[in-house]
Amino acid sequence: MLKLDQVDTYYGNSHILQRLSFEVPEGKCVALLGRNGAGKTTTIHSIAGLTPPRQGSITYKGQPISGLPPYKIARRGIGLVPQGRRIFPSLSIRENLTVPAKDSRSTESSRQKWTLDEVYKLFPILKEREHNMGTQLSGGQQQMLAIGRALMTNPEFILMDEPSEGLAPVIIEQVGDIIKKLKETGLSILLVEQNFYLACGAADEVLVMNKGHIVWKGTPQELLANEEIQHQYLGV
Amino acid sequence: MSVTTLTMHLLNGLAYGMLLFMIAAGLSIIFGLMNVVNLAHGTFYLAGVYIAYYFIGRQFGFWLSMLLSIIVVAILGVLMEKLLLERVYGKELEQVLLTFGLSFIFADVVKWIWGTSPLTLPVPSGLDVSADLGFMIFPAYRIFVILVGCMLAVLLWYMENKTRVGAMIRAGVDDRDMLSALGINIKVVFTCIFAFGAGLAGLSGVLGGPIMGMYVGIDSEILISSLVIVVIGGLGTWKGAFIGAIMVGVVDTLGRVLFPSFTMAMIFAIMIVVLLIKPNGLFGRGAHA
């Protein structure tokens, strides 16, 4: 569904993504693991159009999307749950959910139509506190808001950047459950994580990244069995 | 100074503050949302008043001329944003040079067409009387300007806080990249806001014409006061622009009466005090890259 082929992305003069190639099949959750500075967030930003790649191609449903402005990529059906959640502090919880643009073009019947009510059904706490400001929520609730906000664009594909960051273990488990629930609705997911166990629990396939490219690829079970990779690239 | 005189100066200051508010509101939101310091914003004021003068001279009447002038200035804003500013987003020095240069060019165009002698707009008929406030007599037109300013403030407050467009603008001031990653075409938002801010400054020019007259140079005077207001009120908020404009308008007017040579110094003193206490301005939410 999403395919990166020989992608090179720079921040100024630093060469962050180096001939990065991988694929996320439709309806699957692929986890991207790696240490700080491995290029995980840059990968997400390259796909979302926030830091467009200098070379290589990114195709989504067979169509090239690299070079498109972020809003066009979002409207093609790619939702972003960014690192640090990036809730709009000046907006109420409800406004955080109603500001995103709806994808009106999509007519596919398989695609779940996310509405405010649907998001509130998935995260009842957001409805309870809908008139509070987004930043008055706890970390876990803010993560739910960030996910709900991305769902409001009616994506078929979700980019999730470190959803476990800064959350208590019991909340991280909930996040894992949410990811599985989203997958059941037919969403494809690229999950960037530092949390090894969350990633292995939620993903169908795991990619390990180091210095801007993929150094290992396999199933969660294979990774759990491979202590060398865990030790060398993940510091587990 | 008697209470009546003081009240008169306060009302004059309020009227002036409302004119400044209409300019500073646009300047502040353009600054906060687009990160553009539009040093040509005073030009929209200048264009507003001179274009209205042109139409009034062609017997269009005050109100129709005002409407036409706002439309023309807003179109001017769209052209400026689409053709020039769009090329220099994210490049602050270029923006300063570009917008400052544009303000000189427009000032010269105005001199070329209308000359350098000060002109004035007629007070629209019906408002060219004095209103009896019970304890004093005050020009009805200035009261009208104060009312328009207050109504605009309420309208802008409503738009900012109660509509989806307003929420989008607040979100854009918070985090532009995130907003575009949610499928919002931020460029269209920028153009609309720029045109809206230009039109608002144009309105201020037309309304200010009968009070302050018009001459080349008023654009930079207005711009400096508006920049001070934006600093006092904080970036990207109508509320800050409103409170800041009233402060500057009243202090400026009272200062001219009480100690003429210190007026400008007093306005800057207020700005310094505000900056010392609240570095982001009274209602500012802090700068972002």
pLDDT in tens, B90-143: 888 999 999 999 999 999 999 999 999 999 999 998 898 998 888 888 999 999
Nearest CA in chain A to B164: A99
How close A78 comes to chain B (CA, Å)?
9
Nearest CA in chain B to A74: B183
Q: How confident is the model at residue A96 (pLDDT cuts 50, 70, 90)?
A: very high
Summarize the confidence of residues A171-175 as an average pLDDT: 92
Report the SS3 class of residue B236. coil
Q: Of B164, B173, B185, which has the smallest distance from its Cβ to A99's Cβ? A: B164
Contacts of A1 (CB under 8 A, 6+ apart): A24, A25, A26, A27, A60, A61, A156, A157, A188
Nearest CA in chain A to B163: A95
Q: How confident is the model at residue B288 (pLDDT cuts 50, 70, 90)?
A: very low
- pTM value is 0.85
How close B179 comes to chain A (CA, Å)?
7
Cβ–Cβ gap A99/B184 under 8 Å? yes
Between A61 and B284, name the one with better pLDDT: A61
CA distance B8 to B130: 13
Cβ–Cβ gap A95/B167 under 8 Å? yes
Q: How confident is the model at residue B263 (pLDDT cuts 50, 70, 90)?
A: confident
For residue A91, which residues of chain B lie inside 8 Å, CB to CB? 167, 170-171, 174
For residue B170, which residues of chain A lie inside 8 Å, CB to CB? 88, 90-91, 95
How close A46 comes to chain B (CA, Å)?
12
User: Which domains can be identified in chain B, with CATH numbers?
Assistant: 3-277 (1.10.3470)
Range of the domain at A76: 2-234
Exposed / middle / buried, residue B257 (Cβ in 10 Å: 0-12, 13-18, 19+):
middle
User: For chains A and B, what is the number of CB pairs under 8 angstroms?
Assistant: 74
Between A106 and A199, name the one with better pLDDT: A199
CA distance A34 to A24: 17
Q: How confident is the model at residue B19 (pLDDT cuts 50, 70, 90)?
A: very high
Give me the DSSP letters along B80-105: HHHHTGGGGTT-HHHHHHHHHHHHHH
Q: Of B170, B178, B185, which has the smallest distance from its Cβ to A90's Cβ? A: B170
How close A197 comes to chain B (CA, Å)?
28
How close B288 comes to chain A (CA, Å)?
13
Chain A residues at the B interface, defined by Cβ less than 8 Å, are 48-50, 69-71, 73-75, 80, 82, 86, 88-91, 95-96, 98-103, 149-150, 152-153
Question: Chain centroid to CA B206: how far?
Answer: 12
pLDDT in tens, B189-210: 999 999 999 999 999 999 999 9
Nearest CA in chain B to A71: B183
Return the pLDDT at A113: 78
Nearest CA in chain A to B171: A88
Report the SS3 class of residue A102. coil
ipTM of the complex: 0.91
Between B83 and B237, name the one with better pLDDT: B83
Query: CATH number, domain at A26?
Result: 3.40.50.300
A112 pLDDT higher than 70: no
CA distance readout (Å), A228 to A36, A206, A216, A222, A232: 18, 15, 11, 11, 6
Nearest CA in chain A to B184: A71
For residue A96, which residues of chain B lie inside 8 Å, CB to CB? 171
Cβ–Cβ gap B181/A98 under 8 Å? no
Share of chain A above pLDDT 70, in %: 95
Q: How confident is the model at residue B34 (pLDDT cuts 50, 70, 90)?
A: confident
Share of chain B above pLDDT 70, in %: 98
How close A36 comes to chain B (CA, Å)?
22
Top residue of B86, B159, B180 to mutate, by most chain A CBs within 10 Å, is B180
Nearest CA in chain A to B177: A50
Cβ–Cβ gap B175/A88 under 8 Å? yes
pLDDT in tens, B170-191: 999 889 999 999 999 999 999 9
Q: Of B167, B182, B187, which has the smallest distance from its Cβ to A101's Cβ? A: B182
Number of structural domains (chain A) is: 1
Nearest CA in chain B to A72: B183
pLDDT in tens, B219-241: 999 999 999 999 999 888 888 99
How close A180 comes to chain B (CA, Å)?
22
Cβ–Cβ gap B171/A70 under 8 Å? no
Cβ–Cβ gap B181/A49 under 8 Å? yes
Q: Of A82, A89, A99, which has the smallest distance from its Cβ to B168's Cβ? A: A99
B244 pLDDT higher than 90: yes
Query: Under a CB-based contact definition with an 8 Å cutoff, are residues B50 and B216 in contact?
Result: no
Report the SS3 class of residue B42. helix
Q: Of A89, A102, A152, which has the smallest distance from its Cβ to B174's Cβ? A: A89
First to last CA, chain B: 48
Residue whose C-alpha is closest to residue A188's, from A99, A109, A117, A112 = A112
